[in-house]
Amino acid sequence: MKKRGNYFAIIIVIIATVTMAFMSQQKITVKGSDTMVILAQKWAEIYMKKNSDVTIQVTGGGSGVGIAALINGSTDIANSSRSIKQSEMEKLKARYNTLGVEIPCAKDGITIFLHASNPINELTLKQISGIFSGKITNWKEVGGPSESIILYGRENSSGTYVFFKDHIVKGDYAANCQTLPGTAAIVNAVKKDKYGIGYGGAAYAEGVKHCKVKKDDKSTAYLPTKENIANNAYPISRYLYMYLSSKPTGKLKEYIDWILSADGQKVVTEVGYFPVK
């Protein structure tokens, strides 16, 4: 009986130890931009290996979804590939009495994806706007073959959708632009479509042609390389953001500080984006 009692005592100690370890762990939730999912998951994976007392959960869904989750209190960090809207800041203020905290954490060049066999190598911003607004519908209008242009874009909850609409299209997208749930899906569609064109983060562009972009007819055309984005030569670049409801403290602050450190920014480069420092 004594041995049996000792056995149960050991089990109780083990359960208590595991419970204490579990309770001492802090969970950080990250939600939002699909553009940033690969980067955010890599950050979380590396950080958790070095910090066993922190669990980081990363999900996508789009920038708008992430900011909505921040507003309703279901995420600690909202990843966004666009700036927060005034209406969203007002909702944050109504709930938390704060306009939120904006943290630029990486820089990205929005790439124009073309099929590998497309003879077009460069486009101006005006031509890209014309294509995605539906004013230009045939490749021959920009020096290509006499074939209809097939458009692929993001869903309206995407920060990339909003940024591209506001800064490049500068109006409504063409009604025939096919919306897809993520940049990877756009790349896959263009890869299979000889006359397709799409847009998205540079880190996803595998198996498709990167189109050079120039500001106007007289400008030089640039690819979205690290150097061209760092010196602002590539004309379609943006910051990627983390948004918080209030100033971070404790483990959350430690995690964000690490992301902005040399080690965290090294991950940005490895994934295919560009550091902010």
Q: Where are the domains of the chain?
A: 2-107+240-271, 108-237
Q: How far apart are CA 115 and CA 191, in angstroms?
A: 5
Backbone angles phi, psi at 105, to 5 degrees: -125, -10
Q: What is the pLDDT of residue 13?
A: 45
Question: Is-contact 87 68, C-beta < 8 A?
Answer: no
Instruction: With H, G, I as helix, E, B as strand and everything else as coil, classify residue 162.
Output: helix
Q: What is the pLDDT of residue 21?
A: 42
Model pTM?
0.79
Q: How far apart are CA 107 and CA 81, in angstroms?
A: 9
Q: What is the CA radius of gyration of the chain?
A: 23
Give me the tens of pLDDT residue by residue for the chain, a chain 277 residues long.
555 555 544 455 444 444 444 445 799 999 999 989 999 999 999 999 999 999 999 999 999 999 999 999 999 999 999 999 999 999 999 999 999 999 999 998 899 999 999 999 999 999 999 999 999 999 999 999 999 999 999 999 899 999 999 999 999 999 999 999 888 999 999 999 999 999 998 777 789 999 999 999 999 999 998 889 888 899 999 999 999 999 999 999 999 999 999 999 999 989 888 898 6
Q: What is the pLDDT of residue 206?
A: 81
Q: Angle, to 10 degrees, between the axis of helix 250-259 and the axis of helix 262-271?
A: 60
Q: What is the pLDDT of residue 33?
A: 94
Q: What is the dihedral of CA 175, 202, 44, 81, to 10 degrees?
A: -40
Q: What is the pLDDT of residue 236?
A: 95
What CATH homologous superfamily does 2-107+240-271 map to?
A: Periplasmic binding protein-like II (3.40.190.10)
Question: How many of the other CB atoms lie within 10 Å of CB of 51?
Answer: 16
| CATH fold group of domain 108-237 | D-Maltodextrin-Binding Protein; domain 2 (3.40.190)
Q: What is the pLDDT of residue 76?
A: 98
Instruction: With H, G, I as helix, E, B as strand and everything else as coil, classify residue 34.
Output: coil
Q: What's the sign of the alpha-carbon dihedral 208, 131, 236, 33?
A: negative
Q: What is the pLDDT of residue 232?
A: 87
Q: What is the pLDDT of residue 19?
A: 42
Q: How far apart are CA 204 and CA 187, in angstroms?
A: 7
Q: What is the pLDDT of residue 7?
A: 52
Task: Assess whether the region 2-107+240-271 and the region 108-237 belong to the same CATH fold.
Answer: yes
Instruction: With H, G, I as helix, E, B as strand and everything else as coil, classify residue 82.
Output: coil
